[in-house]
Amino acid sequence: MRSVLSLFTTIQYPKTLAAILLAGGVALAVSACSSSTAATGISPQIMADSLHAVMAADRTVYTKKVVNRLVKEDKVIKASEHWQDEKALPLPAQMFRFGAEMVAEQGAPFSYSLLSLWPINKQNAPKTDVEKEGLTFTVDNPGQNFYKEEVLGGVKYFTAVYPDPAVAPACVECHNEHKDTPKSDFKIGDVMGGVVIRIPLQS
Ligand code: HEC
């Protein structure tokens, strides 16, 4: 009986200790986290850059692992702007827009879009002065991002614009030949548009 009890305590003791340590650790982590947030917060640029990294990765993964593999390598399906009628894969830019629209529907505090000064889909034209300025900046300064604050409807926002370059011949070919494009002389490497991310700032 005694040995059972001592076995019980030896098993329980480390567990209790672990629980106390864990709870303490969590409390410490939470307090460290909240105090550092209170002291510094996360900068809107780090927030925007991080969101952009996820968006860019998802778009590349969809393009390479879904579209290019099934269309070019396995040749089992095509990708088309009219994906519903043609039972095809949506284009990467459409997938991107559908995601952005769903985020907006869910009432997320930030918004994003893939825009261009020469949009195939007029919905993807810049609407604010800062969007136009940012898209122009990324075309004139290849490889550089653009960051600026703007006030819309009385709310101050941090707006980031990331260049979207023509990384493959397909980008240029499809856009230059599209019936709705306002520009048909894109070259490989050109900045064709940009990802705009807008985060509200508390003032
Ligand atoms: C097969 C045709 C096709 C290919 C390939 C293609 N696009 Fe597009 N792209 C489109 C269409 C169609 C839209 C409009 C999508 C929508 O409805 O929002 C679009 C939208 C865009 C937009 C938003 C502005 C606009 O024109 O509406 C940008 C920027 C863009 N594409 C850049 C690229 C880049 C960069 C590549 C290569 C990595 C690329 N596209 C490849 C057809 C294509």
164 CB near ligand 1 (under 6 Å): yes
89 secondary structure, DSSP code = B
**Sequence ranges of the domains in the chain:** 42-200
Q: Order of strands, edge to edge, in the sheet holding 191-200? A: 111-115, 191-200, 155-165, 146-152
Position in ligand 1 atom list of the atom nearest CA 81? 12
Mutate to test the pocket of ligand 1, among 85, 96, 174, 177 (most ligand atoms within 8 A of CB): 174
Residue with the nearest Cα to atom 3 of ligand 1? 174
139 CB near ligand 1 (under 6 Å): no
pTM, to two decimals = 0.84
CA 160 to the chain's CA centroid: 12
Contacts of 117 (CB under 8 A, 6+ apart): 125, 126, 132, 135, 136, 139, 193
CATH architecture of 42-200: 2-Layer Sandwich (3.30)
Residue with the nearest Cα to atom 24 of ligand 1? 119
pLDDT value, residue 39: 58
Contacts of 63 (CB under 8 A, 6+ apart): 92
Interatomic CA distance for residues 60 and 67, integer angstroms:
10
Structure tokens at 169: 């011949």
Interatomic CA distance for residues 40 and 66, integer angstroms:
40
Q: Cα of 152 to ligand 1 centre, how many Å?
A: 27
Interatomic CA distance for residues 8 and 50, integer angstroms:
49
Residue with the nearest Cα to atom 29 of ligand 1? 193
191 CB near ligand 1 (under 6 Å): no
Position in ligand 1 atom list of the atom nearest CA 122? 27
Cβ(137)–Cβ(131) below 8 Å = no
pLDDT value, residue 10: 41
Residue with the nearest Cα to atom 1 of ligand 1? 174
Mutate to test the pocket of ligand 1, among 60, 77, 171, 177 (most ligand atoms within 8 A of CB): 171
Q: What is the pLDDT along the chain (203 residues), one digit of tens a residue?
A: 444 444 444 444 444 434 444 444 444 444 444 444 455 789 999 999 999 999 999 999 999 999 999 999 999 999 999 999 999 999 999 999 999 999 999 999 999 999 999 999 999 999 999 999 999 999 999 899 999 999 999 999 999 999 999 999 999 999 999 999 999 999 999 999 999 999 999 75
pLDDT value, residue 20: 41
Burial 121-135 (b: 16+ CB within 10 A, else e): eeebbbeeebbebbb
pLDDT value, residue 202: 78
